[in-house]
């Protein structure tokens, strides 16, 4: 599988941030990108199509990124889905909570397209080993 | 307002806009603002609580924010729309995040609220603590913007 030929689900309650992340992903060669505006919509997307990586914001109304991560890990069909958490700050407590919940990696805003690419590549490399 | 608060916000602003919007903001000389009048056409404001309390506002000229958000989205935006308003909130949030991380190194533990965005000529910015605020002016080639912060220990 071409490493750029993967389907990425971008989850953020702000349409503008979804566009920003989509723009960054496109800059580094990812084309197959779908979006969800919150955790609930993200779960629906995950159940209806094959998603290779979830890139989710932490702070979202209704269902936060952490709650989405926990729901994904608790679902037998989705449990192994790679999950990259996006946070506005690297607070120790948040990082610990995300790691405990089974996050694959996390990325702190602001980030460049290259850093985003590295994180996704690292996640994909680890599951392809 | 303590001058040690200047650098975390100055560095946070440059870092966020350089990384996400590919612009190189040039900082001017900070000064104190005594009134509530915003310096720009659109502003994001976020409340801060914890070992220091107050608020941070980013106030952009229309020309500056159109360039910044156009770069962030990879499309040419010509007028202030929902994308611009959302982006101002997100930029304010990110700058607050980097600044709070920088302040953590100085022993401050500060949490942020959800940012709000106000647009329109001559709008006002009401800081949580009231009183004068610190202005850090910035320029990019297309226009100006300011960091407007009012924080006390």
Q: Quick check: B124 and B37 in contact, CB under 8 A?
A: yes
Q: What is the pLDDT of residue B36?
A: 82
SS3 of chain B: helix, strand, coil, percent, to 5: 35, 30, 35
Cα separation, A32 vs B24, whole angstroms = 31
Interface test with chain B among A10, A16, A90, by most B beta carbons within 10 Å: A16
Considering only the top CATH level, what class is B3-152? alpha beta
pLDDT band with cut points at 50, 70 and 90 for residue A1: low
Domains of chain A and any CATH numbers: 8-128 (3.40.50.2300)
pLDDT in tens, B39-82: 889 999 999 999 999 999 999 999 999 999 999 998 999 999 98
Cα separation, A96 vs A38, whole angstroms = 22
Q: Quick check: B50 and B141 in contact, CB under 8 A?
A: no
- Interchain CB distance below 8 Å, A110 and B86: no
- Interchain CB distance below 8 Å, A109 and B94: yes
| ipTM score above 0.85 | no
Q: Is 0.95 topped by the overall pTM?
A: no
- Both tokens assigned to B138: 């910035």
pLDDT in tens, B9-39: 999 999 999 999 999 999 999 999 888 888 8
A92 touching chain B per CB within 8 A: no
Statement: residue A49 has pLDDT above 70? yes
Q: Quick check: A11 and A64 in contact, CB under 8 A?
A: no
Q: Could you tell me what percent of chain B has a pLDDT over 90?
A: 67
Q: Where are the domains of chain B?
A: 3-152
């Amino acid at each position: 599988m071409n490493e750029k030929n993967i389907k990425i689900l971008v989850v953020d309650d702000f349409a503008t941030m979804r566009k920003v992340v989509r723009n960054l992903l496109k800059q580094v060669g990812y084309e197959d990108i779908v979006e969800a505006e919150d955790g609930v919509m993200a779960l629906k997307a995950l159940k209806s199509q094959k998603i290779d990586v979830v890139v989710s914001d932490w702070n979202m109304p209704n269902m936060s990124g952490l709650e989405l991560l926990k729901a994904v890990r608790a679902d037998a069909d989705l449990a192994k889905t790679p999950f990259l958490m996006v946070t506005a700050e690297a607070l120790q407590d948040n990082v610990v909570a995300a790691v405990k919940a089974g996050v694959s990696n996390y990325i702190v805003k602001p980030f460049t397209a290259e850093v985003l690419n590295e994180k996704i590549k690292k996640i994909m490399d680890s599951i392809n080993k | 307002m303590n001058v040690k608060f200047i650098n975390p916000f100055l560095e946070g602003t440059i870092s966020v806009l350089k990384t996400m919007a590919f612009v190189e903001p040039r900082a001017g000389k900070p000064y104190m603002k005594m009134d509530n009048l915003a310096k720009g056409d659109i502003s994001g404001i976020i409340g801060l609580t914890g070992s220091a309390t107050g608020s941070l506002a980013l106030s952009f000229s229309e020309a500056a924010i159109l360039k910044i958000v156009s770069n962030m989205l990879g499309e040419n935006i010509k007028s202030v729309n929902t994308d611009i308003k959302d982006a101002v909130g997100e930029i304010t949030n990110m700058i607050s995040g980097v600044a709070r991380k920088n302040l953590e190194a100085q022993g401050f533990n500060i949490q942020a609220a959800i940012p709000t965005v106000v647009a329109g000529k001559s709008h006002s910015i009401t800081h949580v603590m009231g009183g004068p605020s610190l202005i850090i002016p910035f320029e990019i080639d297309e226009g100006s913007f300011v960091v407007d912060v009012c924080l006390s220990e």
